[in-house]
Amino acid sequence: MRFSRMATMSKILASHLPSMRTSTRQLSMEAQNIADRLKSSSFFRTQGLIGGKWTDAYDANTLKVNNPATGEIIANVPCMGRKETDDAVSSAYNAFSSWSKLTAAERSKYLRKWYDLLMAHKEELGQLITLEQGKPLKEAIGEVGYGAAFIEFFSEEAKRVYGDIIPATLADRRLLVLKQPVGVVGAITPWNFPLAMITRKVGPALACGCTVVIKPSELTPLTALAATELALQAGIPPGVINVVMGNAPEIGDALLASPQVRKITFTGSTAVGKKLMAGAAGTVKRLSLELGGNAPCIVFDDADLDVAVKGTLAAKFRNSGQTCVCANRVLVQEGIYDKFADALSKAVQSLHVGDGFSEGVVQGPLINEAAVKKVERFIEDAISKGAKVLLGGKRHSLGMTFYEPTVVSDVKNEMLLAREEVFGPVAPLLRFKTEEEAIHIANDTNAGLAAYIFTNNVQRTWRVSEALEYGLVGVNEGIISTEVAPFGGVKQSGLGREGSKYGIDEYLELKYVCLGDMNRK
């Protein structure tokens, strides 16, 4: 079932449906109509949630949430800070004592109900994601399915948190290992997956008895608030989930300073991740960090050309290149380089760009002007150092934050395009001669999240997969994330794993209990 979800995503990205170009005015009206409908739905919320009460900022400050495709303001949400965060932590702390004492089966039922509600509102939640984040509607609805799957999966895993009995070293002893929830968790999430990055953290946390304070990205808080409202409708008790947003450094500092917060789980930039890691030292908190990547996508001479093009397209252009597992460097062996560059350019040329609500669109806008400027800076740097633009390489005629899907050849590993995450729809092609050289280039980075290889050689598949210093490797496949497999990076891409049976360990403490004097009658 999950496989078909992945396949659908690949199909969406690979589909080359022509469609009429919508004018900015029509586009804006359509988005407005959808926004109006969503605003009257049962889950649309524009306040923070503290102890089960929808709350404004204490000083009544607000911030605007924009539609990145039109620049229009969708809603105002509270601009919260330290005080609200302290109160959210207190309510999570108070709720912990009762939530953690429920049986696993009881918590599982709440999560299952939440999952059902998320799925029942799949279309509208998808629309909300498109509205505030910009990704094409089909992809956004795909994210709802993917995001909800973490709640379903961890509703099941809740019942499988087993302890251990250790064979004793002395005859009158019994040695036990209990697994217990860490306590209050601060979950800080980015804008590129407004729902899935939250459910991937909150699912396992709640499943094993933790309570949470979520800080969604200020760019995409509405999806987080809607999902939280559905959690309340599922009966999850007040205080178990709290949401604050606004002044990110102030909220982050309040979460870090509180001794009641026992863990921070974060997805976002490496720079902020490092700050959180340093800040967590003050109270010795546990940390899960899912930070930036610099994914190599290696196409060997022996690859199937169609499979490699389709996989690269999916790995690179999903969410307009705005994911931390997006292929950032496409390494192509010299024997297939020209054929591959040609075939990829043709496929990229037919990716339809536009407002995420328009039929057939597979490339939405970038999140904001700063994101476009970054792409422009990287392209300029590459051209000045000898790279050639095969396709695109400039802003799209739609204006706003739309950028043309781009292919650049003759990229070298020392160019910005290869050193840092471009986070945009740009496929940089690097040429290599040997397998050893490809592995060297691929590993020559501080990042280590996702890598992709395309080859039909079984021995090479094993050799290269083992040699890549990455947390995830896709072989002949460009979209590999699923709730049942562990997701996370090595090196400066982060700490810990999310999803899968391993993901719940991040929210559990081991307690060793030694029973003595067992021979006494």
Residue ranges that bind ligand ADP, judged by CB under 6 A: 188-191, 215, 217-218, 248-249, 252, 268-269, 272, 275
* 435, 454 Cβ separation under 8 angstroms: no
Shortest gap between Cβ of 267 and ligand ADP (angstroms)? 7
Shortest gap between Cβ of 66 and ligand ADP (angstroms)? 14
Distances from the Cα of 331 to the Cαs of 412, 416, 491, in angstroms? Answer: 10, 15, 21
Give whichever of 171 and 271 is closer to ligand ADP, judged by the CB atom. 271
Shortest gap between Cβ of 266 and ligand ADP (angstroms)? 7
The C-alpha atoms of residue 377 and residue 21 are separated, in whole angstroms, by 28
Shortest gap between Cβ of 71 and ligand ADP (angstroms)? 18
Give whichever of 13 and 256 is closer to ligand ADP, judged by the CB atom. 256
Shortest gap between Cβ of 259 and ligand ADP (angstroms)? 18
* Phi, psi angles (nearest 5°) of residue 276: -65, -40
Give whichever of 85 and 455 is closer to ligand ADP, judged by the CB atom. 85
Residue whose C-beta lies closest to ligand ADP:
252
Shortest gap between Cβ of 276 and ligand ADP (angstroms)? 6
Give whichever of 285 and 310 is closer to ligand ADP, judged by the CB atom. 285
Among all chains, which residue has been given the structure tokens 């931390």?
A: 324
Give whichever of 371 and 468 is closer to ligand ADP, judged by the CB atom. 371
Characterize the bridge pairing of strands 53-55 and 48-50: antiparallel
> What count of Cα atoms within 13 Å lies in the side-chain half-sphere of residue 190?
17
Q: Which amino acid is located at 343 in the chain?
A: A
Provide CB contacts within 8 A for 7, sequence distance 6+. Answer: none
Q: Beta strands of 53-107 (E only): which ranges?
A: 53-55, 62-66, 73-78
* 417, 381 Cβ separation under 8 angstroms: yes
- Active site members: 290
DSSP state of 111: H
Please classify residue 3 by burial: count the beta carbons closer than 10 Å to its beta carbon, then call 0-12 exposed, 13-18 middle and 19+ buried: exposed
Provide CB contacts within 8 A for 26, sequence distance 6+. Answer: none
Give whichever of 110 and 378 is closer to ligand ADP, judged by the CB atom. 378
Characterize the bridge pairing of strands 174-181 and 164-166: antiparallel
Distances from the Cα of 35 to the Cαs of 41, 62, 125, 130, in angstroms? Answer: 10, 19, 11, 10
